[in-house]
């Protein structure tokens, strides 16, 4: 495994990593020239502070002062090189049987072990300088690589070593991995996907598009934009039009004028919201490509299936989602849309291995609630469950208080604070400061609705969670075997009431993917934890397959 520039662990440097015991002795160093490239990377991080410090010191006529000022970048450079040297001196990597071990760090020592089976890709990166020096930066990708802390990088290897390492890793992986089943996330799209016979699953009609805009939650941001525009309004609106407004009488009208202004602003914001929605989602189309449509046992037939989403008026967007990357499907009925029976469907999908896809996003921006089950059955059959809300397990009655009381207390405290501030320090109480008290019953109502909406269910194949936020009601469907980890939390009050919050996490390229349902019966939460054990899940799936 060794080639020229690599120093074997065991000569002069043997004592460098004494503390953590127990790996083989075949560990290798990075290329010595990595001192320079790593140092340069450190230096790049220092450039901005150095410039800030230099500018803040300024250049006076004093020679000593100037020496210090110019000494700063020199010191930074020196520090970077020393940092690079330390990084080199304390970094080792080793292919130890079926595991890649990487040790780094001087002050905080770190030793990571990556089972070869988990490696999804070994990427090389070469900056121009690295190319000149014949170095390669090696990145080892696993499904966890989306997370900053979990990134595995060998700062600089000689080209030969890098090729050797990659070759070994990939042959090791190929030797074992392909016989088993592919990992659930992050596999590259198979090349043989037939892209000709796309099947349109959903289109957004013009009427739906306008309805989507009219009920979109974008009114808030739009109102802000309109408010800002209003500041410059006099310049934007034709003067003649502006002068026709009866300003004098408006000034006397007081409250009425304010209300009128709010209504006008609201209407403008609304139209803006409709406009942006139309721009974003015009021509929306969801297509499915590849084999394996609507089989009862959809799971095994979906290897090549992809969903393609197209939308946008000016900026045409196109997203491709391999079906097996999808981790969860969330149906959202926003507060505005729910009374009209409309919803939005989002998906949580893993990946970003190639870095080219969205981690999660909109599957369908606007759809009749009644059509949701059919669409999910057609587009993502793996996530289709009988849509009978009453079948979901509700939370115990004593959970209701815990949904209602905290928001009531918060809003009450806020109201009190506002009123006290106005009473003591501003110009006294007003009817509208007192009117803020309506927030309290609203908060109670929201809490009650959140309690009513909360529910969960477990089938042989799926975990279903339903909850409500200020945005609206969410229904999450994920498959049991898509869960990455799960857990419960219970604070002091919950423990006293024998309640617990259930947590579930699915793979997600970015930060998303974590879901929580507060105030379950503690027994139920425990039972869910047990029932979602891998062995239990296998059992349930087998039982379900045997049954029909």
Partner 1 sequence: MTPGTPGLPGSQRTWGEPVADPDSPPEERSWPGLAAAYAVWPEVGEMAPVRFIPPPRLRLDPAARKLWIINNLIGVAVLVAITIGIMLALHRWRDVGMAWTVGVPVAVAVAGCALAWADAAVRYRIWRYEIRADEVDLLHGLITRRRQLVPMARIQHVDTRQGPLERRYRLATVLFFTAAGGMEIPALSVEHAAEVRNQIAALAKVHDDL
Size of the site for partner 1 (CB under 8 A): 106
Least Å from the CB of residue 74 to partner 1: 28
137 touches partner 1 (CB under 8 A) = no
294 touches partner 1 (CB under 8 A) = yes
Answer for which of 5, 32, 184, 283 binds partner 1 (CB under 8 A) is: 184
CB 419 within 8 A of CB 433: yes
Distance, CA of 18 to CA of 71 (rounded, Å): 36
149 to 168, contacts with partner 1 by CB under 8 A? Answer: 149-150, 152
Rg (CA), the chain: 30
Q: Which residue number, 398 or 430, has a Cβ lying nearer to partner 1?
A: 398
Count the alpha carbons within 13 Å of 59 in the hemisphere toward its beta carbon: 3
CB neighbourhood size of 386 (10 A): 8
341 touches partner 1 (CB under 8 A) = no
538 touches partner 1 (CB under 8 A) = yes
CB 479 within 8 A of CB 416: no
Q: Are strands 92-96 and 121-125 parallel, antiparallel or unpaired?
A: unpaired
Q: Which residue number, 102 or 211, has a Cβ lying nearer to partner 1?
A: 102
Q: Which residue number, 31 or 118, has a Cβ lying nearer to partner 1?
A: 118
Locate tokens 């970003």: which residue? 352
Distance, CA of 541 to CA of 479 (rounded, Å): 11
Least Å from the CB of residue 388 to partner 1: 7
Q: Per-residue x/- mask for partner 1, residues 18 to 57, rule CB under 8 A?
A: -xxxx-----------------------------------
Least Å from the CB of residue 503 to partner 1: 8
240 touches partner 1 (CB under 8 A) = no
480 touches partner 1 (CB under 8 A) = yes
Which DSSP letter does residue 395 get? P
Locate tokens 């992050």: which residue? 186
CB neighbourhood size of 76 (10 A): 18
194 to 233, contacts with partner 1 by CB under 8 A? Answer: none
Locate tokens 């926003």: which residue? 334
Q: Per-residue x/- mask for partner 1, residues 490 to 519, rule CB under 8 A?
A: xxx--x---------xxxx----xx-----
Q: Which residue number, 278 or 377, has a Cβ lying nearer to partner 1?
A: 377
Q: Where does residue 136 rank: exposed (0-12), middle (13-18), buried (19+ CB within 10 A)?
A: buried
Distance, CA of 120 to CA of 170 (rounded, Å): 9
Least Å from the CB of residue 341 to partner 1: 16
347 to 376, contacts with partner 1 by CB under 8 A? Answer: 350, 373-374
Distance, CA of 266 to CA of 274 (rounded, Å): 12
Least Å from the CB of residue 303 to partner 1: 12
Distance, CA of 69 to CA of 205 (rounded, Å): 65
CB 332 within 8 A of CB 453: no
177 touches partner 1 (CB under 8 A) = yes
Q: Which residue number, 181 or 234, has a Cβ lying nearer to partner 1?
A: 181
Answer for which of 8, 77, 99, 127 binds partner 1 (CB under 8 A) is: 99
Q: Which residue number, 33 or 463, has a Cβ lying nearer to partner 1?
A: 463
534 touches partner 1 (CB under 8 A) = yes
Least Å from the CB of residue 466 to partner 1: 14
Distance, CA of 530 to CA of 65 (rounded, Å): 68
Least Å from the CB of residue 323 to partner 1: 11
Distance, CA of 226 to CA of 230 (rounded, Å): 6
371 to 410, contacts with partner 1 by CB under 8 A? Answer: 373-374, 377, 381-388, 390-391, 393-394, 396-397
Q: Residue 495: what are its φ and ψ, rounded to 5°?
A: -65, -40
Is the CA virtual torsion 393, 397, 402, 408 positive or negative? positive
Distance, CA of 59 to CA of 56 (rounded, Å): 9
Q: Which residue number, 3 or 481, has a Cβ lying nearer to partner 1?
A: 481
Answer for which of 299, 303, 401, 402 binds partner 1 (CB under 8 A) is: 299
Among 370, 392, 372, residue whose Cα is nearest residue 453: 392
Q: Which residue number, 273 or 532, has a Cβ lying nearer to partner 1?
A: 532
């Amino acid at each position: 495994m060794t080639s020229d520039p690599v120093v074997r662990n065991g000569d002069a440097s043997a004592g460098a990593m004494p503390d953590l015991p127990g790996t083989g002795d075949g560990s290798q160093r990075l290329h010595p020239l990595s001192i320079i490239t790593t140092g340069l990377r450190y230096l790049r991080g220092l450039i901005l502070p150095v410039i800030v410090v230099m500018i803040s010191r300024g250049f006076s006529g004093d020679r000593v002062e100037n020496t210090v000022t110019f000494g700063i970048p020199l010191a930074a450079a020196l520090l970077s090189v020393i940092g690079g040297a330390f990084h080199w001196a304390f970094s080792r990597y080793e292919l130890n049987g079926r595991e890649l071990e990487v040790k780094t760090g001087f002050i905080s020592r770190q030793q990571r072990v990556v089972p070869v089976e988990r490696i999804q890709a070994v990427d090389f990166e070469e900056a121009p300088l690295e190319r000149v020096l014949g170095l390669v930066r090696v990145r080892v990708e696993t499904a966890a690589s989306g997370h900053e802390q979990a990134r595995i990088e060998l700062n600089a290897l000689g080209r030969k070593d890098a090729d050797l390492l990659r070759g070994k890793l990939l042959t090791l992986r190929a030797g074992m991995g392909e016989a088993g089943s592919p990992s659930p996330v992050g596999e590259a799209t198979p090349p043989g996907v037939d892209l000709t016979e796309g099947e349109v699953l959903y289109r957004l009609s013009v009427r739906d598009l306008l309805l989507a805009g009219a009920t979109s939650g974008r009114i808030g941001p739009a109102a802000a934009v309109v408010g800002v525009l209003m500041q410059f309004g006099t310049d934007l609106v034709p003067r003649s039009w502006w002068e026709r407004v009866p300003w004098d009488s408006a000034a006397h009208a007081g409250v009425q004028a304010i209300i009128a202004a709010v209504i006008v602003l609201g209407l403008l914001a609304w139209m803006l919201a409709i406009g942006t929605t139309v721009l974003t989602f015009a021509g929306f189309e969801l297509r499915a490509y590849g084999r394996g449509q609507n089989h009862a046992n959809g799971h095994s037939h979906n290897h090549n299936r992809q969903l393609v989403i197209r939308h946008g008026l000016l900026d045409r967007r196109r997203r491709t989602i391999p079906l097996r990357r999808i981790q969860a499907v969330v149906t959202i009925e926003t507060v505005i849309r729910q009374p009209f029976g409309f919803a939005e469907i989002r998906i949580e999908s893993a990946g970003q291995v190639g870095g080219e896809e969205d981690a999660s996003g909109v599957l369908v921006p606007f759809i009749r609630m009644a059509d949701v089950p059919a669409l999910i059955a057609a587009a993502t059959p793996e996530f289709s469950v009988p849509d009978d809300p009453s079948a979901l397990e509700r939370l115990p009655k004593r959970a209701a208080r815990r949904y209602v009381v905290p928001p009531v207390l918060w809003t009450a405290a806020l109201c009190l604070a506002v009123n006290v501030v106005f009473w003591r320090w501003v110009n006294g109480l007003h009817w509208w400061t007192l009117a803020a008290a309506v927030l309290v019953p609203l908060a109670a109502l929201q809490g009650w609705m959140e309690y009513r909406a909360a529910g969960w269910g477990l089938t042989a194949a799926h975990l279903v969670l339903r909850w409500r936020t200020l945005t609206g009601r969410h229904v999450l469907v994920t498959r049991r075997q898509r869960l990455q980890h799960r857990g419960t939390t219970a604070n002091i009050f919950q423990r006293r009431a024998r309640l617990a919050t259930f947590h579930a996490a699915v793979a997600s390229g970015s930060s998303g993917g974590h879901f929580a349902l507060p105030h379950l019966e503690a027994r139920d939460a425990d039972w869910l934890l047990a029932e979602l054990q891998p062995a239990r899940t296998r059992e349930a799936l087998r039982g379900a397959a045997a049954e029909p």
